Structure 1
Amino acid sequence: MEDLAALGWTADRATGLPGGTRPARVTRVDRGLLTVDDGAVESRLPTGRAVGPVAVGDWVAVGEGRAVAVLPRTSAFTRTVAGRGSDAQVVAANLDLVLVVDSLTGAARLRRVERYLAVAWSSGARPVVVLTKADLCAEVGVGVATVAEDAVGVEVLAVSAVTGAGLDALGALLTPGTTAALVGPSGVGKSSLANALAGELVATTAGTREDGRGRHTTTARQLHRLPGGALLVDTPGMRELALHDDAGLGAAYADVTALAAGCRFRDCAHRTEPGCAVAAGISDGTLDPARYTAWRTLQAQAHRQELRADAKARALEHGRLRARARELRRRPSR
């Protein structure tokens, strides 16, 4: 298992490995095919529906030339699928670090960073904010301080894939066997950062559009081995990042929840109730009202997602019962 250790394998994972199979890590997922690394060689394997959804970073059990099971995950960056559905989509699995990437060009996009941090905290991995394109920013310190004040309890790093500034500090987090994922919207420099960390071209890059919006360059999630022994998942830009649950909101908005804990009434709605510590924080400037509004918005979105998921579960159970009733009616009387 020594070669597997370089891929992040730990001895405790062996308890979930079915007999007669060997472990391998998923480095890429294509329709009906997985690219896996078993520590010695990468290979392409088919997978059946019985295995269930597989994500980049997953550990799978390989037997008879195919993936036969997904081993239990220790963490997963999960969002709700784009559109109006309620299904969860695992973007990357078994992560140690989630690198939330945004750019230092233009005004700080705090609400966007907060949303990514909420999902990152929910993943079970450690979030870090990485602000790219430091070479294009005249006041890097101000940009970092602005985001750091908002990203409570999270390390914020400024880097440049062009000049190499900040890459040593980021590289110090990417220790051997550590798995990190780059997440963020298109155009913030994820692919350029992946190339800089890898020391070679592992992802295509493109400039931003004339309207300032990013271009999609990474089209598939992929796990790369870095020269220092860490592993990096490069992900395509996400136009939508819907929370699948509210598990990460408390950490992402720790300052807001700390204030809310001091309200006079446990069920305080933080509007006009007497003794509301949140309202007091907004009044005295302790809490940015825009941050409070974002917190409430994400709470509402997570609640709606929970209701949709419950409704889907109820509909599936109702359908199962109806199918069972039809089957009983078709049987001859005894």
Structure 2
Amino acid sequence: MHYLFNSDKGEIFYLKSLNDLSNLDISKLLWLFNDKKLMDEKVLNGDFLGPRKEMITPWSTNAVEITQNMGIEGVLRIEKFYTYQEDTSFDHLLNQKYTVLDENTLNIDKKPEPIQYIDDIDGYNASEGLALSSEEIEYLRQLSKKLNRKLTDSEIFGFSQVNSEHCRHKIFNGVFILDGEEQELSLFQLIRKTSNVNHNRIVSAYSDNVAFIEGPEIKQFTISRPDLPTSFYEKKIKTVISLKAETHNFPTTVEPFNGAATGTGGEIRDRMAGGKGSFPLTGSAVYMTSFTRLEKDRPWEQFSNRRKWLYHDPVELLIKASNGASDFGNKFGQPLINGSVLTFEYFTPDKKYGYDKVI
């Protein structure tokens, strides 16, 4: 079943449910959707802009959860659609144009592709951009022999993810040999050595996905009893401050708003999950991109022509990423209070250097 709710602003809510909704459920939804009205029509023809049906939006996930908390059963998905104008710009990765809204609009009729058994692991690595090393490819070959069968595409792809530098930190934990001499410490050990030598106010470091330092004594405005309606009072508490740095480089490069938003989310998640739990206070954001070429009085940006970007140009990336990081933080009461931007490119006769993948 599906229901359409519209407003005078050209916005349409498309609700998909398992079964018919009762009059009580409809009245709850009208209250929830505020200015929306339930449409009598089940089919709308025209030009509309909405999310790709294969991608459930975070907004829909939140909206469905709200309906569940209101006692409305059977709601599967709620998505926002807009009347499309010819001059409307939109992100083709996330949204698409529709000419009709009906019962099949959000139906996903794609079937999984058949499993592929890979003959040439080296070739598959190159064609799919898995960045497997020669040692990893040889390991997979030996594993295939041990299992007495070819490995599947999903197995090789899965291995490339779980054994990636992002997950394993093979370089940071690796043995370094400089000028033929093996170094005493790995990169990670060098980083950790700073806190061992200068412990200062560190409470905890490198034992969780967040670090803690001693904070000041403050007055906390709190309740007398957490389990009953009760009065508030002030009490002195000794604080511990959580510190977390989160990088979300490639996701932000591909989809700036949500990539940066989930970067903020990962940082908040790790700090709230550390120790006995905490609450977010403030955040900071740092961006490093290639040249924006916004101003003509920057001669260092004019030595080369504007390039064609695989995903997003630096200006679009900075605007959307900044909005995304702030948006997610605001939902948890964590504003971004400072940050920095660095742009860099350097060309030689043989190579081009730049932050094409945003940092």
Q: Name the structure where strand makes up a greater proportion of residues.
A: 2
Q: TM (normalized to structure 1)?
A: 0.21
TM-score, reference length from structure 2? 0.20
Larger radius of gyration: 2
